[in-house]
Chain A
């Protein structure tokens, strides 16, 4: 779409570089680029790079093969891989959860931004659907992973949020309410494969109600997450 764009040129050092018709191992190999020829790197999708050969042929090369090409100055072409090292240290992670929020079924998603391999700012949004009430919750906090190198690594989390509760119709219908919350929690992350990990989490919320007593609610959830 943008013809004037400058692309990175890399050189093949292996006997040949295989090009597929699509970004996946299931797509057939239709072209090969011989040693010492160059290709332009156009874009990347998941673990595949779209490249253009000197003759103008385009195709997709796997991340594994692209680790063996070199730049014009002879240095290897390096790029972030989705592997265990990435699990230990990454910028962004996102995930989805199913769980329980004080007896109601919880659906939740989260995104986090890591300052370093241990500390991250995290935003999570959830909806709970129960027999007595429905509602939504939003939390913003900090997460600390103790030993990010471990495959099964525990973490603690601390933050604040809002909860909106809509009680279901009864004889006396209490109004909807939105209250501020604070939470403390912890959980476990377990690296599965590639960019995926499983995450189990518990949070103990204190809901600052307008009544005399504050409420305490428990949140349990389990889900899948990925990093990039």
Chain B
């Protein structure tokens, strides 16, 4: 009885496997496309991989976070305008206006380029002599530019009332440039000092004093002239 049951089950199993193989055989007869084949191969390959890899207890679902670093704003350039008084040796003191640009290289040093213009007055000889004119109107125009290296020192803070502090700094400047005056251009050495207060990070107020020294032979003999300039300026950092 028992053996009969076993035979029955075995024959049923054989019949099933035979059907499966026959189906495989029939399938093979049908024309197969390349994509089907490649899909089969891929499935086979992935199945192999799964077999090779050790079984995972927990599938990690946490994606690694990648941080995109935004561009950090560099504020090393400074650009602005100045207005003040320039004393042209022998020609009186007159208003001067100019532009200034700086590049801050380190916390201590900066490069500075500046240009300005003023109109010189009359010498005392011209004032006393009546109708004598040493220079024409165009020649009285005093135009300069200067390339300088600056050094920040004495950094500090200034306090406005109880609740406001502004950073400040003294700085020294020394540079070379040229002055166009009295129909001639002269090599000029400039040096001076300034004081910078920053009400906000990007705005600065300057007060500065500079001496522009050049050789002049305008009044007969060649001499070194000192042309002092005092100005206030407003600059923005960007």
Contacts and interface: CB of A to CB of B under 8 A. Distances in A.
Nearest to A7: B70
Contacts of B70: 6-8
Contacts, number: 108
Interface in B171-200: 175-178, 184-187, 198
Nearest to B108: A24
Interface size grouping (class) on chain A: 35 or more
A127 B178 contact: yes
Contacts of B65: 72-73
Contacts of B160: none
B226 interface: no
Contacts of A79: 72
B175 to A, nearest CB: 8
A196 interface: yes
What size tier do the contact residues of chain B reach? 35 or more
B66 interface: yes
Given A27-B155, A129-B185, A195 B106 contact: yes
Interface stretch (B9-17, B73-81, B125-133): B73-81
A23 B152 CA distance: 11
Nearest to B189: A98
B185 A8 contact: no
B8 to A, nearest CB: 65
A109 interface: yes
Contact of A105 (B69, B74, B187): B187
Contacts of A224: 111, 149
Nearest to B186: A129
Contact of B72 (A23, A27, A28, A41): A41
A42 interface: yes
B105 A27 contact: no
Nearest to A128: B187
12 contacts: A8-B69, A22-B167, A26-B155, A45-B104, A46-B107, A48-B107, A50-B201, A73-B64, A73-B66, A73-B67, A77-B69, A98-B176
Interface of B: 64-67, 69-70, 72-76, 103-109, 111, 113, 147, 149, 152, 154-157, 165, 167, 169, 175-178, 184-187, 198, 201, 237
Given A24-B169, A27-B167, A94-B103, 9 more contacts: A21-B165, A24-B107, A43-B75, A44-B73, A49-B72, A72-B65, A73-B66, A77-B69, A194-B105
